[in-house]
Structure 1
Amino acid sequence: MNSKFIHISLLAIFVFVAGVLFPTTSKAVSLDALRIYGYFDLEYEQASNSQGNKNGSFDNHHFNLLMDFPVSNELIVKTHVEFEHGVDSGNSFGTVKLEWAFFEYSFQDAFQLRGGKHFSPFGFYNEIRDSTPAFLSLDVPASIYFSRLRGGYDFVFEQNTGINLLGQSISLNPFGQNWEMDYSVYVGNGENTATTNPAEFDDNSNKAVGGRVNLYPSETFRVGLSFFTGDKAVNANQDAAHNTLAVSMGFDSELFFLVSEGAYSKFNGTEQYAGYLQASMNRGIYSPYYRYEILNPDTSLPDDNWKTHIIGLNSNLTKGMYLKTEIDYHDRGKGNRFVTKGQTTYFEYKAAVVVAF
């Protein structure tokens, strides 16, 4: 994309936002409007051999705090701070991370504007990838959302710093039918080398562009399309193109839920694809589920796939408290870069207590 055009467009957006949001002198707002909420989870994981966590370990994975600060009827500031893996700064254990911090100005439901650091809108799960109370399983599908841990690279840069336009509850009338649509598109710094803070600087003049559109033909069916494109600086003097496309489908009835996604990506000449299918049932406080995942991290290499079968149960113990238990079976090709000692398969036994507050 022409960098001069991007720069002019961004400048125009900032000037417009400043004029709309700050037409008069700013004034203090009451802390009474501040809303604080969050979630906590304690996990246990054990693997059948050394390809996973064979010893078995408890993990104080998340203690996350989210804050919404309404400034006016139209303007709100939102932030999300994560304390991960039992943070101990004295021993450099765990991490403290600002997951997002942005303003959101709502002109109407169909047109809202965000600016700041936010999760990239991509597929069903990227914007809630760490919000464990929001999904049934212990983790979101790794084949797409954590592909770097399966021998591939990230399909999409999980967080973006820049501008995000979004809208929801948009009525459509194709073929005389009543459909709804939502959308979210963004432009921002995108991917950088590991030594550059993408929330502060951009390694190159190229800006990442991405987004997602969801269509709802009925109350029970949803289909979506997500995309991402941008150049990543792979070293000081070289950029590599990264392009990703994904399709999502979901069916939700009172008793049965089916969701599936497929994604294709090309980065620096390497092509990868992934997909999953998950089926679950709602049986009151119990929700059993099954998921099949597959990742081909490099289509030019033989026998490097990573396949996973997951059987689990989500139990709603009481208001805001969930117990998740599951068994994962991993089957990898000998060419996958994470295979060691010739051990291509292993089981994982997992459990988590999740609390939303």
Structure 2
Amino acid sequence: MLLAATALSTATPALADQTSLEAEVALLKAQIAAQKEQLAAQAARLEQVEARLQATATPTTPPAALAESTSKASGATASPTAVAANTVGVGKGSGGDTTIGGYGEITYNGYLKDSSRNQADLKRLVLFVGHRFSDKLSFNSEIEVEHAVASSGDQGEVAIEQAYLDYSFSQAANLKAGLFLMPFGFLNRNHEPPVFYGVERNEVETRIIPSTWREGGMGLYGSTPFGLSYDVGVTTGFDVAKFDDPGAPLAGSHQELQLAKASSLSFYGSLEYQGIPGLLIGGAVFTGNATHNNADFKADHSLPDFSGITSRVTLWDVHGRWQHRGLDLQALYARGTISRSAALGTVIENFNDTNGTELPVAPSAFYGWYVQGAYSFALGGTATLDPFVRYEKFDTQARLPLGLMSDLANRDRVLTTGLSFHPLREVVVKVDYQKFFENKDNDRINLGLGYMF
């Protein structure tokens, strides 16, 4: 018994030590497992953020070297996210941070047949301000000043181009609400000067697609692992009572969320495929009632009375791009229609006869297309030289009601060729020559300076 008691007393501390060590090992294993879970969660969040940035941000490399940045049809964020890719943090709040960025351009147009038309212009200065409240919720905004001075006696203006909240459920499903860009073509979502070719924005994506075109509303967008992205939503739409320019049918009638008539809402949708490296193929459609229950006349009886007329504006486009090494090929076709244009035109002509005015009649259909090719030559470091050529055709009065004849000034074929020099990826110096085949007096040489940060 004495020997047994002695052995037991000797074994008890050893058993206690072993039990303590086992408990410590179990605790360490639990801590390691918890850390692994935390690391895995952080890695997943980083992958989501990286995927969203890749899907939304406009690359800052020269255009010919870009992997097409429009994979995230939320183009909504086109300009803001193009800048966001290069933004600078300026402050942090609870659970988030604030960023700023911007872009700008200065241009010179030299007309070859009438030098009195020559002009230089600080065309635009844009500031981007964004804030990330959390990993999922963010805010984006874009504030633009055009033509240097904005006042009642000047042609410049200050505009809010975007202001929206964005909530990310996953890479496949994201929700945006506010004022955002429509996911059409290339230029409407990616219009920073270092990103597009040519001093001036192309004719088709300014006359047919009214870049920069934004609407207020809600949209759902996302992308799939096999390269397909989508963007669908409900927004404000056009107002045909504001039609004022036959050369750009939708430019004056898109409402920009400025006391926008919203008796009727519009719908849009876009699809793009980027499953093959360097290839982008996509298209979009937008449609909605544009008479808004005759809201303009009811608010101001001095305007034309469109009572009893329901007119729908529909715009669609298809576009494609192929980029391989320094080669960059691009093409786009866009077409729009305005229904009941004959009824609208009859009201306008009667109004003009009664009041001695010359309000234009809206077209039934308008269209435009272009093809473009470019090549980027590396000059060492980040510097590149990018020659390009673009041929485009547009007709903003392709079909008119009431037997009216179109104006030659509103259709043309344009050849543009030039160079873009990038001393840095975010800075560009441009020169090009534009030949107008129908309106020959518009032939010109353009110079431009652009930047983004």
Letter in 2 for 1:146: T
- In the other structure, the counterpart of 2:104 is 40
Cα 1:90/1:295, change in 2 over 3 Å: closer
* Structure 1 residues 288 and 76, CA gap change in structure 2 (3 angstroms): same
TM-score by length of structure 1 reads 0.78
**Alignment of 1:106 onto 2:168:** yes
CA–CA separation in structure 1 for the residues paired with 2:276 and 2:282: 13
User: How far apart are the structure 1 equivalents of 2:425 and 2:190?
Assistant: 20
Contact 1:331–1:345 (8 Å) recurs in 2: no
Comparing both structures, which one devotes a greater share of its residues to helix?
2
Q: What secondary structure does 2:198 align onto?
A: coil
Distance 2:395 2:141 in 1: 35
1:226 corresponds to which letter in structure 2? A
What's the CA shift for 1:133?
2.4
Q: Structure 2 stretches of 5 or more lacking a match?
A: 1-91, 243-252, 298-306, 342-363, 379-383, 400-404
Q: Which runs of 5+ in 1 are unaligned?
A: 1-27, 148-152, 173-179, 333-342
Amino acid at match of 1:117: L
The CA distance in 1 between the partners of 2:155 and 2:406, in whole Å, is 38
Identify the residue that residue 278 of structure 1 maps to in structure 2: 372
Alignment of 1:310 onto 2:416: yes
**How do 1:1-357 residues align onto structure 2 when only pairs under 5 Å count?**
29-30=93-94, 33-50=97-114, 54-89=116-151, 91-129=153-191, 131-143=192-204, 145-147=205-207, 158-168=213-223, 170-172=224-226, 180-192=227-239, 193-194=241-242, 198-199=256-257, 201-233=259-291, 236=297, 237=307, 238-268=309-339, 269=341, 270-284=364-378, 285-300=384-399, 304=408, 305-332=411-438, 344-357=440-453
In 1, are the aligned partners of 2:180 and 2:216 still within 8 Å (CA)? yes
Tell whether the 8 Å contact from 2:96 to 2:133 is kept in structure 1 after alignment.
no
SS at match of 2:398: coil
Residues 109 and 447, structure 2, Cα contact 8 Å, conserved in 1: yes
**1:48 CA displacement:** 2.0
The structure with more strand, counted as a fraction of residues: 1
Aligned partners of 1:322 and 1:155: how far apart in 2?
Answer: 24
**How many residue pairs get matched?**
303
Instruction: Tell whether the 8 Å contact from 2:336 to 2:366 is kept in structure 1 after alignment.
Output: yes
Residues 40 and 201 (structure 1), Cα distance of their counterparts in 2 relative to 1, 3 Å cut: closer
SS of residue paired to 1:34: strand
Structure 1 residues 324 and 199, CA gap change in structure 2 (3 angstroms): same
Q: Verify the 8 A CA contact 2:129 2:140 in the aligned structure 1.
A: yes
Comparing 239-248 with 295-304, greater Cα deviation is found at: 295-304
Tell me, yes or no, if the aligned pair for 2:143 and 2:159 is still in contact at 8 Å.
yes
CA distance in 1, matches of 2:317, 2:233: 16
CA spacing shift, 1:221–1:154, aligned 2, 3 Å: closer
Q: What displacement does 1:299 show?
A: 2.9
Q: CA deviation at 1:73?
A: 0.8
Give the deviation of 1:55 after TM superposition.
3.6
TM-score where L is the length of structure 2: 0.62
Greater displacement, 302-311 / 108-117: 302-311
Residue aligned with 1:126, SS: coil
